[in-house]
Copies of this chain bind each other. A is one copy, B any other.
Amino acid sequence: MNTQYPIIVALDKPDESLARSVVGNLCGRVSGFKLGLPLLLGIGLQGVRQLRSLCREGIWIADLKAADVFHVLKLTYELVSDIADYIIAHAFIGYRGALEALPPSRLILVASMSHEGSREVIDKCQTLVAKVVDSIRPWGIVAPATRPEVIRYFRSLLGKRTKILSPGIGVQGARPGSAICAGADYEIVGRSIVEAPSPIEAFETIHREAVKVISKCRSVI
């Protein structure tokens, strides 16, 4: 697995052959794969099981952005716990009667989002969301590469033990490597790789740029 640039590839499109080709080609070269809800629904749990059998390495994440009450979260977790190492849920739903259904050691909480509408509610409630994250101390959190100040805020709040995963690289505007420089542990890249004419070439280009950016910011420190 590549440690120079810890990158997780987001697979969202419900296209089984595309997903198989990306996983087959990038297995061992990336830190893991994040499986979005459309992929999970579209190719089904059996399809995901077969996908994972193509690559036993790295981190596999079920990105359900789960945001429901206890009994629904529990049933959902039971369905994906054998095919993914971690599950993504929203911190904003709170702990009691909701997130307490999920084991913190296998949980990644959305602390902030990368789109513009995140300013309408989530960002304005950041202190409350952070309180939920801080009390649960999940394995990891999601904080957007498009806003490095949010990454820095959560890093200083949570210390080094909690992993920070940052989407928003590429199509959404952030430069490869920039979230790592701001303190993230992994960058999540989706469409810039998966929807490129050649996903491998796209990966290599992003990888080169990220390594350059990261070595530059690390030399400054």
Q: Which residues of A contact B (CB under 8 A)?
A: 12-14, 36-38, 40-42, 44-45, 64-72, 75-76, 78-80, 90-100, 110, 113-122, 124-125, 128-129, 131-132, 191
Contact = CB atoms under 8 A, between A and B. Distances in A.
Complex copy number for this chain: 2
B96 A115 contact: yes
B120 A128 contact: yes
A128 B124 contact: yes
A96 B114 contact: no
A205 to B, nearest CB: 21
Contacts of A98: 113, 115, 117-118
Given A93-B121, A120-B95, A37 B114 contact: no
Nearest to A62: B41
A91 B121 CA distance: 9
A60 to B, nearest CB: 16
B75 A38 contact: yes
A161 to B, nearest CB: 22
Contacts of A13: 75
